[in-house]
Structure 1
Amino acid sequence: MNHIYKTKKPSKRSKVKIFWVFFLLILVVAGIIILIAHIPDISKNEQKFLKPSKVRIGFAMGTLKEERWFKDRDILIAKAHERGYEVEWVNANENDIEQINQVKYLLGKNINILIIVPNNYEKCSSAINLAKKKGIKVISYDRLVKNSDIDVYVSFNNYKVGELMAKWLLKKVPYGNYVFLLGDPGDYNVQMIKEGYHKVLDLFIQKKQINNILEKYCYNWRKEYAYNYVNNLLEEGKRIDAVLASNDSLAEGAIMALSEKRLAGSVPVTGQDADISACQRIVKGTQLMTVYKPIDKLVDLTLDIVDRLIKGKPLKPNYTINNGYKNVPIFFIDPIGVDKTNINDTVIKDNFHTWDEVYITK
């Protein structure tokens, strides 16, 4: 016998309960959909807000041999931290291969921008290529990288560095035998300095007022080369009336050789970087002058450019320089010639060195 069951009709009260359950379910689903839809915007806004404090600068230095590079490093790190940036720095110790490996290391640290002081202006191009492949902007700092896709070159006006040295010597020694001690040939600043002093002196050389008795490179900016060049000339009986040394380390080497012949102070010698020992020699009278480069200003300019590159703002340079690959935006700061007449109003006034450091030596 077949049993037929009659479906029980739901009561009015049950219908109300079902309605509210469905209504609440719809509200929950709608809330989840709205939340999911807004999650990208929330994270985007949060990321935008945190971005400045998350920027990581990679600072790849070619050397720390000279005193000035310690100042560049310390000032840049301190000022970058003031702006909320992090800095990862490395030093290649004048090794081209090591500098390439160190750039790889920095890229592995997820840097947002690379500031590089090339050890060699041509060999460094492969390191730049590594950064550009990762979409990293590159600032060539105080030394130009040739034949590479750098975004900007920031430096002191090295043409003017050479001009200042030449003008100081010319005023002191308008006639005579000049010795020119150039820095490392792999540093493009050396070529700029050379062009700068030749611009001032070539006419006098052509007129035979000035005799260029030696013009040579000092590899890796080693003062030993400067010492040997000057010492050899003196041993050969050559008279030296002026020495244009391209930095203070080379000036020191030249003055060491001169002092052995009791000529220190009677032969004017130039330098560059306003190293503490050079400033001491200037007030003592064994070095004629140095070219002071206010590093604080260079660092401020560099970090202003970092700000613009990170935010995608135009740089608006006044000049460009062709580095063999393209016309690169260039920003120069003028250097300052310093001798015993203005050292108090420049190097000491700026607190680059203190009065005690310059005038009181142990």
Structure 2
Amino acid sequence: MSARALYIHWPFCLKKCPYCDFNSHVRDGVDIALWRESLLADLRHEAALTAGNPLESVFFGGGTPSLMPPALVESLLAEAERLWGFAPGIEITLEANPSSVEAEKFADLARAGVNRVSLGLQALDDVALGFLGRLHNVAESLKALATAQAHFGRVTFDLIYARPDHTPEAWAAELARALAFGTGHLSLYQLTIEPGTRFATMVRQGAFTPLDDDLAADLFALTRAMTASAGLPAYEISNHARPGEESRHNLAYWRYHDYVGVGPGAHGRRGGMATVRHRKPENWLEAIANTGHGLSEERPLGRSEQASEALLMGLRLAEGIDLAMLSARFGLAETELVDCKGVAMSLQQGLVWRDGSRIGVTEAGMPVLDAVLGEVVAAGLLAA
């Protein structure tokens, strides 16, 4: 078995954002030495099971990985390179918040080996940032972005749109400003109200009303048109890049390659096995101490479940998926992968395209992706 990508999860944040359902935690203090040894142990456990090709990408996610000391990042990268080896031109990404304190670490993080940074700007409007519960303002964002562009070869940042009462005019102005900064990649997400978040409670209590679905769809179409016109077309439903600037790490997920996930709550795929780490930091540390790894679950995936995951991930991409390759990989006939009647109907409606054995979702189909998937993916796989 071999892994092409490594994900390292740092679970700590200074504050929990009201829209966030990621595995993030606020703690008064963190024992860096203990976390260093524990993450190294988790790395070594996975490396023993995934020897083979060198890594093509490493991604530090969270939480807020820019809170990590650069020396810790450097030691983890050194160990990962020793265990797996690094492919030439490896992509090493770290997620960062644009606070001045974290931006001060960018030079040291670049020296540690990070060559791509993903900034959580989230909005270019101070009122919107306050609504989203962010600790930074726009001025800090722009300073951090300039610092990042000075130190890293590749920079991307996130924005959240379709906020309550968000108008096409306001979003067009905000997105035009974002595009003018010249980064080669943007992640642009519609605000979704996730169960268990503070926003879900606020909506239930009537504190605010989410944007109407039809208005959100208009903003989605506007986003696709503006990014394409600027030379950063959507290569995935929410991700936009200049050709060659796509996130290699995320493509490993969407193309359903094997990847290692270490740290609290991290998921992985290796050799037909699904791995999940303990979610709570304290439970993960206890597991490391007792067993040498942070696994809470490790189970084999059947062919149908793997095929279902590959289809549901791959059809998010503009490039679509190759049915012949999936058929050979999982030993399933094309009719076991897709619903032929559903594909024919979706082709007729202009929601999907087909070129030989390759199939994908069209521009018209992307706004209703979930519905399209329900039509084209074989019922047996959807139930897997």
Q: Which has the larger radius of gyration?
A: 1
State the TM-score, normalizing by the size of structure 1.
0.30
Normalized per residue, which structure has more helix? 1
State the TM-score, normalizing by the size of structure 2.
0.29
